[in-house]
Amino acid sequence: MNNGSEKTIDIVKKGLGRRYRVEKRFRLYGVLAITISLLFLALLFASIIARGHSAFRQTFVKLSVELAEAEFDLNDLGRADYQGLIKKTLREEFPQVKSRSDKKDLYSLVSSGAAFRLHNLVTDNPSLIGETVEIWVPADDDVDMYYKGYISREVPEEDRRLKDNQLAWLDRWQAEGKIVKRFNTIFFTGGDSREPELAGILSAFTGSMLTLVITLALSFPIGVAAAVYLEEFAPRNRWIDTVEVNINNLAAVPSIIFGLLGLAVFINFFGVPRSSPLVGGLVLTLMTLPIIIIASRASLQSVPPSIREAALGIGASRMQTVSHHVLPLALPGMLTGTIIGMGRALGETAPLLMIGMVAFIVDIPQGFTDPATALPVQIYLWADSPERAFVEKTSAAILVLLAFLIVMNLLAVILRNRFERRW
Amino acid sequence: MTASYEKYDREHRGTVGRVEVASPRMKCRNVNVYYGEKKAINDVTIDIARNEVIAMIGPSGCGKSTFLRCLNRMNDTIDTCRMEGEIFLDELNIYDKGIDVVQLRAQVGMVFQKPNPFPKSIYDNVAYGPKIHGLAGTRVELDEIVEESLKKAGLWDEVKDSLDQPGTSLSGGQQQRLCIARTIAVSPEVILMDEPCSALDPIATAKIEDLIDELREHYTIAIVTHSMQQAARVSQRTAYFHLGDLIEVGDTKHIFTNPSHRLTEDYITGRFG
């Protein structure tokens, strides 16, 4: 009650201004929070792209190699001295280079991968023997860095990765149009390498892919089945409660523990091949399962009970109720959980270190039992490498990982929207 | 009002009125239902006659819905729910060990309080029951069942051109009639209705009530309702529940004009409820 002169409406009016101010301030905080998080995200992307974009281009040098017949044994083309041919070509380009150290400087301008390129060219087209072929070979990583602007001529010679004489040779090549920057296909088609200019992401990418296939193939069905049993069929008793609590706890276990478990159980006890996508997938399955089970259960709980009653009421069995009505309605939510789980699995490094997927893998894995590594592990390995050129490779690999993640999520969102139904 | 003539007073808990009928469709004997420790239904004995509509009325929480759900064992899905006593459907004890609830629910269908069509097309909603029970051998037969069920539910003329539309796109009253069509598509003997009109407007309610009257020809119907007018309009017999006890059963006319129990009288005259 008030003193009569003041009506309720006046009191309400007095408070209105303050109430609106509070609301306005609260909205402002929200907008501020979103802006800040977007800003950080933009910063992150900008820095990664700024560092990584140059890795998608690579410097190539054009060499005219004379494939003299004398050099080749026609029955065994693979045994010719391709490295020698490249060196010979380089010497002929610059006849004035005589001293041993100068020669070494000259040879180091092109990548050691040049010989492989020549080898592949000749074995694919043996008819070229006897002719002089023009071949673009990748330049050494230092040359590549120079053309990408990471090595400055201003720096005194002794502190520079390229010496004055090397720069002079490069200048001549450039004047002759023998140096070109092109799209870096090696990065997308090669495996890891000690030479940055030959290092590629494909082996890690394939490793991640194979690992995720195993993870998805195991964790989705097992997770959904576990969730359906717990939610729809399990009796409510202490035993089931314990199971539930433990599943929830598993979701919070540090992932390296799963790695240790995988090492002890899968590799040492069951003898699954070390470093293989198979064991990686198994370990990541253990890690993803609780996430998928928890999300799937939440999604099953959100299916209105009236749907279950409707189905049971016309005589559907429990199994039919679940598979015909509940599961289709819960599937979008389950897929969301699976995306989150798979996203985590894709970005996981620690458990993979424990099971040997940190190995230096040059070959692209051909199956689930081949030695492999994964994208995040590759990023970790490259980030650890001393060569300047690996800095951009690291960022580029992060970009590939992000792209992989985005494509995966996009696919799942599309899939989810197709299943999504209202009730 | 003089409280002198033959009326059972408020403390009387035994069932008053005509409990048994000749050749009943369903017979319930000494039914007790517990939720955990709590007793929800106390020693209910009642017959449900063939081709009658029996209304179950009573204040909220009196156990009428619980009792209704015993009749097709829907309470089985609730873990803490326990039932004692016997319920017979045509001389068959539905709580016998050998009884398959799936088969039972095909014979005793149920319509729920809130319209709950499946998020599927109108056709699939009605066809689902016959499909899972294998009632239709061919697509043509299935079409016939769907059409006939929708006709019986008085929905055919409204939806015959939009059978592929989702059932959830219909209005509330239409949805409820769709649910009734879905129930009768498996040709049950008994239809249980748990407050089928509580979520509907008066016009939709009137339609459902007319429908119930027509369905009585082929089915036995047990309906739980909060509306005494509805009970009076659609039912031939009425059962009044009070705090888990079945207080009074009798002809609807009798119950609403001259109840034998004090509690029934209190309820229908609006003294509580």
Domain contains B8: no
Confidence band, pLDDT 50/70/90 cuts, at residue B4: very low
pLDDT digits (tens, 9 = 90+) for A25-76: 999 999 999 999 999 999 999 999 999 999 999 999 999 988 888 888 878 8
* B10 located within any domain: no
In a domain, B45, yes or no: yes
Secondary structure (DSSP) of A68-132: -GGG--TT-GGGS-HHHHHHHHHHHH-TT--SHHHHHHHHTTB-THHHHHHHHHHHH-GGGTTSE
Chain-chain contact of A317 with B102 (C-beta, under 8 angstroms):
yes
Query: Which residue range(s) make up the domain with B31?
Result: 16-268
pLDDT for residue A4: 59
DSSP B99: -
Could you tell me whether strands B108-111 and B190-194 are parallel, antiparallel, or unpaired per DSSP bridges?
parallel
Whether residue B11 lies inside any domain: the answer is no
pLDDT of residue B273: 53
Position B144 pLDDT exceeds 90:
yes
Candidates B169, B156, B171; CA nearest to B126 is B156
CB contact under 8 A, A314 and B77: no
What does residue B133 show for φ and ψ, rounded to 5 degrees? Answer: -90, -5
- CA distances, A11 to each of A6, A20, A23, A351, B20 (Å): 7, 15, 19, 63, 66
Q: For B86-122, what is each residue's pLDDT tens digit? A: 999 998 899 988 888 888 999 999 999 999 999 999 9
For each successive 10 residues of chain A (423 residues), what is the average pLDDT? 70 90 96 97 94 91 88 81 90 89 90 89 87 90 90 88 90 91 91 90 94 96 95 89 92 92 93 93 94 95 91 90 92 89 92 89 90 93 90 93 91 82 52
Say if B98 falls within a structural domain.
yes
Within a domain: B204: yes
Beta partners for residue B32, in sequence order: B84
pLDDT of residue A416: 81
Q: Say yes or no to pLDDT of B151 above 60.
A: yes
Tokens of A209: 């892919």
pLDDT-derived band at B272, boundaries 50, 70, 90: low
Which 3 state secondary structure label does DSSP give A45? helix
What is the ipTM for the molecules in this complex? 0.86
Residue B2: band (very low, low, confident or very high) from pLDDT cuts 50, 70, 90: very low
Contact A310 B179 (CB under 8 A): yes
Which pLDDT belongs to residue A188?
92
Query: Is residue B4 a part of any domain in this protein?
Result: no
Contact B77, A307 (CB under 8 A): no
Helix (H, G, I), strand (E, B) or coil at A234: coil
CA-CA distances (angstroms) from residue B182 to A280, A414, B45, B132, B159?
A: 50, 33, 30, 12, 14
SS3 A182: strand
- Portion 277-316 of A in contact with B at CB < 8 A: 304, 306-316
- Alpha-carbon span A247 to A262, nearest angstrom: 18
Total domains, chain B:
1
- Nearest partner of A94 among A180, A146, A172, judged by Cα: A172
Q: Which of A231, A241, A306, A314 to mutate to test the interface with B (most CBs of B within 10 A)?
A: A314
Percentage with pLDDT > 90 across chain B: 58
Q: Is the pLDDT assigned to residue B3 strictly greater than 60? A: no
| CB-based contact B133 A313, cutoff 8 Å | no
User: Would you say A385 and A290 are in contact if contact means Cβ atoms under 8 Å apart?
Assistant: no
B116–A329 CB contact, under 8 Å: no
CA distance B45 to chain A (A): 24
| Nearest CA distance, B13 vs chain A (angstrom) | 32
The length of chain B is 273
Q: Does A221 touch chain B (CB under 8 A)?
A: no
Whether residue B218 has pLDDT greater than 50: yes
C-beta separation of B188 from B110 below 8 A: no
CATH number of the domain within which B154 lies: 3.40.50.300
Answer yes or no: is B163 within a domain: yes
Q: Is A177 left (phi over 0), alpha (psi -120 to 50) or beta?
A: left
pTM of the model: 0.83
Residues of chain A contacting residue B179, judged by C-beta atoms under 8 Å apart: 310
Asked whether A199 and A390 are in contact (CB, 8 A), the reply is yes
Contacting residues for B73 by C-beta, under 8 A, at least 6 apart: B94, B95, B101, B104, B105
